[in-house]
């Protein structure tokens, strides 16, 4: 039995493709892959061109998560640090701080199994010229960064900064709070007690600055940039109206749809259900009502961002192609080889897939695996019964985003 093949089969059986399964099956979405690779190449040069983000639409079980996992492998292969985040109650799209923290927790380095922030800062400290250049960039008057970032980089450039303090800096860059007294003591020890204005920064603003800073930090440390993959974005359909408005605005910001708020070095891709526009945006008139709700609260810029996020879902999505007979045959052939390897048992060709208008790739894959299981274990040919599962877009207070964060201390 091949362990990696077995792990891949079990992941596909559960409908949650892992890296082993993704590498084996690949993707037939060549046009989406091409556009994604173009976005990666333009990550640092696309400012002012409408953003470097992509949206992917497909029905339940059509392979959105598989495609995101495949794009993750593509980005890692090009030297990007990749964060894949599933939108949920715990990671609400409407809350930039919590989403950022989740992205940092789930970040993966190319060809390494280290903590991304630990590895990035360690590599940066081995590159004193890049560290100095990054400190100068964030220290510039027009950089938009609070002096806190320059102060931390200044201390990272000091060889005498102890490892436990560096570790606290790593946690801060990844979204944790920072002990201001400890920072002031460190600056005093370094002879820079009065060099930086360390006034408190509101947590909401700090979350936005961290998102701008991370790609710059990663590039200085030798990586190509940062790739953020957002899955199950359709869950914002269950948010209350104001939360949904904020979620649309956050989606626009992460995509870089407003040139003034572009995040150089970041490429964002999101996956959403095919019927989200008709079931949520059109049915609830989100494009008319939600930006106006933000305007009435005085959030004029956020209202424009919310409308931009809505328009992207309406007009700029890449739609997954229904599998052709050739696609199904190729997928089954790859899967049969993987199953044979996983169980050391010669899986026979399965009967031709019964094509229906509603059948999804996930259903085909699970039916093939189940059929081989029954044949291998019981010697019988399985009769597969297929059902459909729709998306629940009912608004729910349980999906509420976090309360307004306090000021960072």
Residue 402 has pLDDT above 70, yes or no: no
Residue 349 has pLDDT above 60, yes or no: yes
Query: What integer pLDDT is reported at residue 388 of this predicted model?
Result: 57
Structure tokens at 36: 């994604």
Residue 405 has pLDDT above 70, yes or no: no
Measured in residues, the chain has a length of: 409
Residue 162 has pLDDT above 90, yes or no: yes
The span from the CA of 34 to the CA of 54, in Å, is 11
Query: What integer pLDDT is reported at residue 408 of this predicted model?
Result: 41
3-state secondary structure 149-194: HHHHHHHHCCCCCCHHHHHHHHHHHCCCCCCHHHHHHHHHHCCCCC
The span from the CA of 272 to the CA of 13, in Å, is 22
Model confidence over 6-15: pLDDT tens digits? 888 888 887 7
Structure tokens at 174: 């990844």
Query: How many other CB atoms are found less than 10 A from the CB of residue 203?
Result: 17
Q: Residue 338 half-sphere exposure, CB side, CA atoms within 13 Å?
A: 26
pTM: 0.86
Model confidence over 315-328: pLDDT tens digits? 999 998 777 788 88
Kindly report which listed range (212-221, 331-340, 345-354) carries the lowest average pLDDT score. 345-354
Q: Could you tell me if residue 301 is left (phi over 0), alpha (psi between -120 and 50 degrees) or otherwise beta?
A: alpha
Residues 6+ apart with CB under 8 A from 397: 240
Mean pLDDT of the chain: 88
By the 8 A CB rule, do 264 and 49 touch? no
Residue 403 has pLDDT above 50, yes or no: no
Q: What angle is formed at CA 59 by the lines to CA 41 and CA 74, rounded to 5 degrees?
A: 25
Q: What are phi and psi of 310, to 5 degrees?
A: -60, -45
Residues 6+ apart with CB under 8 A from 241: 284, 289, 290, 293, 395
The span from the CA of 22 to the CA of 12, in Å, is 9
Out of 3.20.20, 1.10.3470, 3.30.565, 3.40.50, select the CATH number for domain 29-110+223-320. Answer: 3.40.50
Residue 392: band (very low, low, confident or very high) from pLDDT cuts 50, 70, 90: confident
Please state, for a pLDDT cut of 90, what percent of the chain lies above it: 58
Query: What integer pLDDT is reported at residue 23 of this predicted model?
Result: 74
The span from the CA of 255 to the CA of 9, in Å, is 33
Residue 387 has pLDDT above 60, yes or no: no
Mean per-residue pLDDT, 46-66 = 74
The span from the CA of 369 to the CA of 12, in Å, is 9
The span from the CA of 113 to the CA of 260, in Å, is 35
Residue 154: band (very low, low, confident or very high) from pLDDT cuts 50, 70, 90: very high
**End-to-end Cα separation, the chain, in angstroms:** 54
Kindly list the distances between the CA atom of residue 3 and the CA atoms of 7, 37, 167, 337, 338, in Å, as whole numbers in the listed order: 6, 31, 35, 14, 11
Query: What integer pLDDT is reported at residue 22 of this predicted model?
Result: 80
Q: DSSP characters for 323-349?
A: PPHHHHHHHHHHHHHHHHHHHTS-PPP
Question: Does the CA dihedral 38-39-42-45 come out positive or negative?
Answer: positive
Residue 52 has pLDDT above 80, yes or no: no
Query: What integer pLDDT is reported at residue 25 of this predicted model?
Result: 77
The span from the CA of 272 to the CA of 282, in Å, is 15
- Scanning the structure block, which residue is given the tokens 């059948």? 359
Model confidence over 82-99: pLDDT tens digits? 999 999 989 999 999 999
Kindly report which listed range (5-9, 70-74, 239-243, 280-284) carries the lowest average pLDDT score. 5-9
Query: How many other CB atoms are found less than 10 A from the CB of residue 409?
Result: 10
54-58 and 225-231 beta bridge pairing: unpaired
Mean per-residue pLDDT, 106-135 = 94
Location of each CATH 3.40.50 domain in the chain: 29-110+223-320
């Amino acid at each position: 039995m091949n362990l990696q093949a077995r792990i891949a089969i079990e992941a596909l059986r559960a409908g949650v493709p892992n890296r082993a399964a993704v590498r084996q099956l690949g993707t037939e979405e060549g046009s989406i892959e091409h556009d994604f690779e173009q976005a990666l190449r333009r990550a640092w040069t696309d400012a002012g061109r409408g953003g470097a983000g992509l949206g992917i639409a497909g029905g339940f079980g059509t392979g959105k998560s598989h495609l995101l996992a495949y794009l993750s492998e593509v980005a890692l292969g090009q030297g990007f640090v990749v964060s894949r985040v599933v939108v949920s109650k715990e990671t609400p799209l409407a809350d930039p701080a919590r989403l950022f923290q989740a992205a940092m927790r789930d970040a993966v380095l190319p060809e390494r199994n280290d903590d991304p922030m630990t590895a990035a800062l360690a590599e940066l400290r081995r590159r004193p010229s890049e560290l100095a250049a990054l400190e100068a960039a964030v220290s510039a008057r027009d950089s938009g960064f609070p002096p806190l970032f320059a102060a931390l980089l200044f201390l990272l450039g000091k060889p005498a900064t102890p490892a436990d303090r560096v570790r606290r800096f790593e946690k801060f860059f990844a979204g944790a709070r920072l002990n201001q007294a400890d920072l002031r003591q460190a600056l005093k020890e370094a002879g820079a007690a009065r060099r930086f204005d360390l006034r408190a920064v509101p947590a909401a603003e700090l979350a936005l600055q961290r998102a701008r800073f991370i790609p710059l930090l990663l590039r200085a440390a030798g990586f190509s940039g940062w790739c953020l993959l957002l899955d199950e974005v359709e869950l914002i359909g269950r948010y209350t109206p104001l939360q949904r408005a904020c979620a649309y605005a956050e989606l626009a910001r992460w995509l870089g749809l407003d040139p003034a708020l572009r995040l150089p070095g970041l490429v964002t891709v999101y996956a959403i259900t095919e019927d989200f526009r008709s079931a949520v945006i059109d049915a609830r008139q989100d494009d008319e009502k939600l930006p106006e709700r933000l305007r009435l609260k005085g959030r004029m810029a956020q209202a424009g961002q919310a409308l931009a996020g809505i328009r992207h879902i309406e007009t700029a999505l890449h739609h997954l192609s229904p599998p052709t007979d050739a696609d199904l045959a190729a997928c089954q052939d790859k899967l049969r080889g993987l199953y044979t390897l996983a169980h050391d048992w010669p899986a026979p060709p399965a009967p031709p897939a019964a094509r229906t208008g509603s059948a999804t790739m996930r259903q085909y894959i699970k039916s093939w695996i189940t059929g081989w299981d029954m044949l291998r274990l019981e010697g019988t040919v399985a009769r597969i019964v297929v059902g459909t599962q729709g998306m629940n877009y009912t608004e729910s207070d349980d999906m509420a985003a976090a309360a307004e964060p306090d000021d960072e201390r």
